[in-house]
Amino acid sequence: MRNRMMATAISALFIGACAASGAANGPKTVARSLSGDYVEARTASVFAGACHYNGELTTTGRDAELVWHVRSGSSHGVDVSGLTAVAAVTAGDNLKDDISSRRSVLYIDDKATDAQMKALAGTLMTSYKDALGTVVAIKRAPITFARTGDSFTMSAKGVGKLVVDAMPNGECCKQPNLVWYKPLVEIAGRKVGFTRESGIEDATLGASWSKFNQNTAFYGSFDTSK
């Protein structure tokens, strides 16, 4: 019990330090300008017919995994280029409507130094605080990320996996009336992705889910300076 309380206290202190680091110069300043690839997958289809959408609206869509791969950028003088971060996000109701109860765990690539981990986590927590809600823990994980054209693969060992391809024939652009959601974070070049595999296992949040072969993803480019 004592060790658990100490671990919780240390985690809270680290989260506070990361948040302070990200907010040091106010929101969205060049002191923390990061850009790169963003992919998210939810437990509800983001592109579907009206009946499918309405059937899922109140029964699922409470969880998501968010992935940021930094192509270039630094935060307060700390270069975090090439690193990847993953967030497991959950809420009491569909993420489309429920912001107040959102909780998340943020995973940082275990290749990051302590300074890089603090800088990257702090920037994401400040830039995307609405998407993340209450960050209850920041953890390290071995994370791999690859992009080939509009196909993305992410693996966070012991946490989750995400495999997303572009929709065939650009269907989401031809039928925008069937896109029912918006990405949880602001991105450029937003497209709907076909999720071949997604899922999260996180004991801290009590999250355990997986989805296969559905239109549950968004992808595009993120830029924290905008």
pLDDT digits (tens, 9 = 90+) for 38-51: 999 999 999 988 88
Across the chain, mean pLDDT equals 88
Phi (first) and psi of residue 202, to 5 degrees: -140, 115
The answer to whether 27 and 19 have CB atoms below 8 angstroms apart is no
Determine the pLDDT at residue 1: 43
pLDDT digits (tens, 9 = 90+) for 71-101: 999 998 999 999 999 999 999 999 988 788 9
When comparing pLDDT for 11 and 192, which is higher?
A: 192
Query: Where residue 10 falls among pLDDT bands split at 50, 70, 90?
Result: very low
* Residues pairing with 137 in the sheet: 105
Chain centre distance of CA 38: 8
Model pTM? 0.87
